[in-house]
Structure 1
Amino acid sequence: MATDPLPAAEQLPVTIDDVRAAHIRIASSIVRTPTFVSKTLSQLTGATVYLKFENLQFTAAYKERGALNTLMQLDSETKGVIAASAGNHAQGLAYHAHRLGIPATIVMPTNTPTVKVTQTEGHHANVVLYGETFDAAYAHARELEGERGYTFVHPFDDVRVIAGQGTVAIEMLEDVPEIDTLITPIGGGGLISGMAVVARAVSEKAGGRPIEVIGVEAELFPSMYNRINGTNMPCAGDTLAEGIAVKEPGVITSGMVRQLVDDIVLVSERSLEEAVSLLLQIEKTVVEGAGAAGLAALLQHPERFRGKTVGIILCGGNIDTRLLANVLLRDLARSGRLARLRIRLQDQPGALFNVARIFDQQRVNIIEIYHQRVFTTLPAKGLITDIECETRDRAHLDRLMVALTEAGYEASPVELA
């Protein structure tokens, strides 16, 4: 990647002039989100970390930029726009289409969560539920496009969308010119393609310096990684980063990534969970899994970025509250602040009281207790008790385990995946 001779500006389907024009076009109608340094994340990772808070857009995602740039270039006679999306593209397109007085239809799979349907309808779009997969919804949207004369707005494989997404990089590099590395999530490739155009232009201008562009994909959906590197890793599974869970990247974007992007790294679900949790705890900001992918890369591959001045795009904040709660609780468990201990007891009076006394002595808070007498491999008089508890940190939990062992109890933690 990015090893061939630099392409001339006119050979790229999107140029820096396209991105600059897009920025002028949309600037008054989107939020110029701030780019702040994170001292704590910088200390944790060994890089100087700047965060671009695109989760502060009105619909909580950068997708507004590309959608709006496309809408503002449509013919005034358009009958309306249509898209297939169950995510941020749907809301960004619906919101700005309504604001501009353009009818919008969004086709979503029938299994789309109700909250996403409701949010999109809240932006006055006509939502059509069709098919059980995105591919089915996409095919139906293209059918309706032809039948009704609508204009289809692709979520990523459109030069107008790519130029709009690239405006993120214009703002970042204006605000923090010293950034030398951009870490950008990849789904279909629209965002990183636009970002890379800007980075290349800055690198090539007189007195400019190289800016590395690094893409990030979830390990479960390495579609662009496969396309660029000729690999055939599976793209499937339940990833926290559903916003970048794309099985087939774009044609236009794949070509641009091949020419302009320096590397693509993959991140685990555990790293994504840790990144979401850290951003809430440290930066007090809610970010969805895809939006946290850049930080996840920094956490999982610290040696790759140590000493660099890194720009990370928090590209979206639309995460289900119940899912967010699960992520936070799992992070507490991994850090030792929340634990479930499986303890073998004798089924006799006072057994639970005696073990609870040890928790009290160690100043460990018991949250819940689960008894199991029947579904166990122990003898009839055996008893398994799971105790969910709260500790200060891993060392505090370790002291509790030592105390239980010294008191003669057989105890073991119930580990997370």
Structure 2
Amino acid sequence: MSFQDGARAAEQAMRRVFPPTPLLRNDLLSDRYGADIWLKREDLSPVRSYKLRGAFNAMRKVMRDDAVFVCASAGNHAQGVAFMCKHFGVRGVVFMPVTTPQQKILKTQMFGGAQVEIQLTGDYFDETLASAQKFCAETGGHFLSPFDDEDVIEGQASVAVEIEAQLGRLPDRIILPVGGGGLSAGTRSHFGTNVQYTFVEPQGAMSLAEALKAGAPVDVSPINNFVDGAAVAKIGQRTFARLVGADLGDVLNIPEDRICTTIVEMLNVEGLVLEPAGALAVDALKDVSEQIAGQTVVCVTSGGNFDFERLPEVKERAQRYSGVKKYFILRMPQRPGALKDFLSILGPEDDIARFEYLKKSARNFGSVLIGIETLKPENFDRFRAALDAGGFTYTDITNDEMLAQFVI
């Protein structure tokens, strides 16, 4: 059986469990980029990500009544495995780091019900993974990889099968987020060279790009975990074998803060709730805008498991990236009227978002942490000029990541 036939068979088998996720044309993005842009809404699957596809396909192929399925995950893979354990009525053991947010633990338990046992172990994922693999060795459990498994790759390729059927033709280009590579390997293996590809990684975890440069998977640790659904330190061996030959120029890396601007826009304008990895493909349109004019483009919104407790951080990152929010350490004279003089510098579109006295640095001066929000980035040119004219000493710490960890 060819890979394409296997992917089609997997997609048909899934219909007993859940319907195809929608493929929806997006007018906002189509008008903005002068293209026919469609979103493959994997964020609308039963577990709000595509991960249950690979879990389903891998589990159905080794199914037996006494099977025990084991995975290590703190996110979408855990929820996909849990959902399928409940569907098949088999036992599942999900290993999660001790630091996993309670919301993710509760969702995994909700999807799995009585069929799933959750074990919290290790502060870091490597420790959690080692515990899961040790458990499998001792009990004979079947380990379910989140991406580096041929059956998982075949299951993720069902996304491509649905796109072709729903669109009624092949798209000119498909834009895919990349973490461990299961979705991109499956899609590329199904479509072959019949479409153009844009693979998108977060800037803090460029495992595919570095693997293509080296000719083999390489560990890119330490990684930035903000885009947790795609933050993988080393792309899979099997997934990379299916991505060998991809053009390095088709692999983009997106700054984590820029991804936040797309999350906020999609939420505020389109009402779409996307996790950071789920927004990668949409955000990448900014970088391929000149290439896609007149094309039919499909962006895979891979997940929507967004914890709204993260929204203030996402908004903060988006504002800082867009240049409409900045932080300064201001050396202010300790005299009557000094604060009034400073406030007179603010323009009609400026707002104080934070004002905190930090430390008295001299008898006649004090240091203040101040955060300013404005409507247009260019307003800060006028603001700095006014500070200079007023004789204020200041330091812009907006992009100082080390300092920001402590004071922002």
TM class by smaller structure: 0.7 to 0.9
- Matched letter for residue 34 of structure 1: P
Measure how far apart 1:370 and its partner are.
1.9
Distance 1:83 1:190 in 2: 16
Aligned to 2:404: none
TM-score in terms of structure 2 length? 0.84
Counterpart in 1 of 2:186?
194
Query: Aligned partner of 2:162: which letter?
Result: E
- TM-superposition CA deviations, 1:279-330 (whole Å, max 9, x none): 3234322222222222343334545545543211111122333333212122
Q: Secondary structure at the match of 2:244?
A: helix
What amino acid is aligned across from residue 373 of structure 2 in structure 1?
A: E
Query: How many residues in Structure 1 have an aligned counterpart in Structure 2?
Result: 393
Q: CA RMSD in A?
A: 2.9
| Cα contact 2:223–2:233 (8 A) shared by 1 | no
Aligned CA distance change for structure 1 residues 343 and 264 (closer, same or farther; 3 Å): closer
Shift of 1:80: 2.4
Partner residue, 2:73: 85
SS in 2 for 1:242: coil
Judge conservation of contact 1:40–1:282 (CA < 8 Å) in 2.
Answer: no
Aligned counterparts of 2:320 and 2:83: Cα–Cα separation in 1: 39
Measured after TM superposition, the shift of residue 414 of structure 1 is: 4.0
Structure 2 distance, partners of 1:59, 1:36, is 19
1:102 aligns with 2:90: yes
Matched with 1:391 is 374
Aligned to 2:59: 71
The residue aligned with 1:265 is: 252
Cα distance, 1:255 vs. partner? Answer: 1.6
Contact 1:196 1:260 in 2 (8 A): no
Unpaired runs of 5+ residues, structure 2, are: 401-408
Which amino acid is 2:228 matched to?
A: E
- Please tell me the residue identity of whatever aligns with 2:70: I
Partner-residue secondary structure (3-state), 2:15: helix
**Matched-pair identity in %:** 29
Partner of 2:172: 180
Partner of 2:102: 114
Report the counterpart of residue 405 of structure 2 in structure 1: none
Query: Residue in 2 aligned with 1:39?
Result: 27
State the alpha-carbon separation in 1 of the partners of residues 63 and 357 from structure 2: 68
Residues of 1 paired with 2:128 and 2:317: CA distance? 34
Aligned match for 1:288, one of 275, 280, 290: 275
Counterpart contact for 1:30–1:64, Cα < 8 Å? no
Matching of residue 239 in structure 1 with residue 225 in structure 2: yes
Aligned to 1:230: 214
Offset at 1:43?
Answer: 4.9
1:171 aligned partner: 162
Q: CA deviation at 1:211?
A: 0.6
In the alignment, what sits opposite 1:316?
Answer: 303
Whether contact under 8 Å (2:205, 2:224) holds in the other structure is no
For the structure 1 residues 344 and 153, does the alpha-carbon distance in structure 2 shift closer, same or farther, using more than 3 Å as the test?
Answer: closer
* Partner SS for 1:277: helix
Letter paired with 2:144:
V
Tell me, yes or no, if structure 1 residue 53 matches structure 2 residue 41.
Answer: yes
8 Å CA contact 1:19–1:166 kept in 2: the answer is yes
Shift in Å, 1:36? 2.4
Q: Distance in 1 between matches of 2:247 and 2:69?
A: 31
Cα displacement (A) at 1:390: 3.3
Q: Is the 1:239–1:269 contact (alpha carbons within 8 Å) kept by the matching residues of 2?
A: no
| DSSP-derived class of the 1:25 partner | helix
Equivalent residue of 1:368, what SS? strand
Which residue does the alignment assign to 1:216? 200
Between stretches 223-232 and 403-412, larger displacement belongs to 403-412
Call closer, same or farther: CA 1:341–1:77 in 2, change over 3 Å.
closer
**1:244 aligns to what SS in structure 2?**
coil
Match of 2:327 among 340, 349, 356: 340
Partner amino acid, structure 2, of 1:21 = A
Deviation for aligned residue 1:88 = 0.7
Moved more, 125-134 or 93-102: 125-134
Rate the CA distance shift 1:287–1:380 in 2: closer, same or farther, 3 A: same
Q: 1:284 to 1:389 in 2, by over 3 A?
A: same
Secondary structure, counterpart of 2:229 in structure 1:
helix
Partners of 2:133 and 2:369 lie apart in 1 by 53
Distance 1:101 1:310, change over 3 A: same
Rounded to whole Å, the distance in 2 between the matches of 1:27 and 1:305 is 33
Of 131, 156, 171 in structure 2, the residue corresponding to residue 140 of structure 1 is 131
CA contact 1:240–1:290 (8 Å) conserved in 2: no
User: How far apart, CA to CA, are the structure 1 residues paired with 2:354 and 2:127?
Assistant: 45
In the alignment, the residues of structure 1 paired with residue 388 and residue 136 of structure 2 have an alpha-carbon distance, to the nearest angstrom, of: 68
